A and B are shown apart, each in its own frame.
Chain A
């Protein structure tokens, strides 16, 4: 990347700026969920046990909602796109389910990778104000393995994915 002109006079306030936009520390137990290039970080207590997709998924009357299993192990499944909306066709490479949310019928989501992170510390960046849209599914991000992982909660994922699918 090339810089075409030099910093202006406001750069003298650099130190003050870093204080205002500095990331905060976040620590504890988390689950990193990956859906292709999308990576999400949720509190561990928001995420149910992971299970492999062992049966073929069935489509339902609701676009973007699939079914997996039968009887007491019947799951309603969503596969997220890169912008966290429910995909209308089930993608390749999703092989593990993890339920999100509480209640009698938590919704399961299909992931490419599920990684439990125990007692980890992150530098958590809040989203810039310009990105803090009402109802947005993301409220911050961390840097990990050279990329961004977006901070969210089960409630946000479920409500955003189901609202966008309607």
Chain B
């Protein structure tokens, strides 16, 4: 549990979240129960015609998961050379309530850690991407940074209609 959070009353309710530093000094979070595993150096197979922020498919537990680079997705333009997958964070999500779980992976080039978040930490979304409202369920302050809580179902959903 990270300690870089404001002092809280002892009876304050907190929810766990997985914090991902997706680029140097910039963070997103996912609901802790949605984060399944951190994989070191998976082999990623590029897929022709895939969106530019999608590195390809990686094998994981008898499945093939899409691997997305959040930094490229959020700034909405492609790298001249795709980034190496490095570590990836496997996430579970439901496209609709009651639907079966689906899985995807995001690049995790930096810190992945667990934090506990309270309601009073809520803050506005960062202004460095027009796509935050599309992907974020909420936002909280951590270590003087706004941290959007991402909806994995939106991150791994159909790309049409985002722009």
**Residues of A bordering B, CB below 8 Å:** 1-11, 13-14, 16-21, 38, 82-84, 125, 127-138, 141, 147-148, 150, 160
Contact = CB atoms under 8 A, between A and B. Distances in A.
B64 interface: yes
Interface in B28-84: 32-42, 45-51, 54, 57, 63-66, 68
Given A21-B63, A129-B158, A134-B160, A13 B50 contact: no
Given A16-B100, A130-B157, A131-B50, A8 B92 contact: yes
Contact of B51 (A7, A14, A125, A131): A131
Given A21-B63, A133-B51, A128 B104 contact: yes
Given A20-B102, A134-B160, A82 B40 contact: no
A19 B99 CA distance: 10
B9 interface: no
Nearest to B87: A4
Interface in B80-124: 92, 95, 99-104, 112
A89 to B, nearest CB: 19
B101 A10 contact: yes
A8 B42 contact: no
A3 B66 contact: no
Nearest to B31: A8
A3 B49 contact: no
Given A7-B36, A8-B34, A148 B49 contact: no
A10 B36 contact: yes
Given A10-B33, A10-B36, A133 B49 contact: yes
A148 B156 CA distance: 21
Contacts of A18: 100
Contact of B64 (A135, A137, A141): A141
Nearest to A135: B49
B92 A136 contact: no
Contact of B155 (A1, A130, A134): A130
A127 B89 CA distance: 20
A7 B103 CA distance: 12
